[in-house]
Amino acid sequence: MRIRRKPWAENEFNTNKNYIKEAKPNKGKWKDLFKNDNPIHVEIGCGKGQFITTMSNQNKEINYIAIERKSMVIVSALKKGREKEVGENLVFFTADVENLKDYFAKGEIERLYINFCDPWPNKKKWAKRRLTHKNFLKLYGEIFGDKGEIHFKTDNRILFEFSLNEFASQKGWSLKNISLDLHNSNFNENVMTEYEEKFSRKGQPIFRLEAIYKKTTD
């Protein structure tokens, strides 16, 4: 789907205090930017920002970084963050997930959020593009270093089943808090994305899991 250019986008990018224009120089130095030693959590593909802005306002003791590869999408998240008066514990920057090692040093982040990513459902050859493919899991493990965790949500059953199999087949990963119908479960800490709100109102079940990474020596 083509995303229309927003006439107010340039001003938002230039004036929003939570936007990082050049993120690479912060590799290994994100705690210096946040000016504290709080844990760092990252959302890959923040969309319009409802999830990450809510999380940052609810958890001031955690530093959040929101990444989105499309500039005309992340600018909407910036606007939402400004309107919700998010604090200094949240920053945004534009990047592709494949280049995460350019932005984060090993062991620098503790948690990744992957919410409603593209399921790439049509062809088997597209499986490598799924953000829970084993190639990406290897990348995440390298960034985590010794340990870390991923919180993953989707409305696509095929992607969820694929993800369960990928995590289970890779060394160092274990699963917990698996839900096949999140909104009818006893999990009460859920923060919804815009997409999640839209499709859950239509009765679409939401799938969720937490994947825990611990580096193995064998």
Active site residue 146: no
CA distance 66 to 78: 10
192: nearest Cα among 204, 200, 184:
200
Whole-angstrom CA distances from 75 to 18, 83, 93, 103, 197 are: 11, 12, 10, 20, 20
Q: What is the DSSP string of 111-125?
A: EEEEES-----S-GG
On whether the CB atoms of residues 65 and 43 are closer than 8 A, the answer is: yes
Of these residues, 96, 102, 118, 146, which one is catalytic? 118
Task: Give the residue numbers marked as catalytic.
Answer: 118
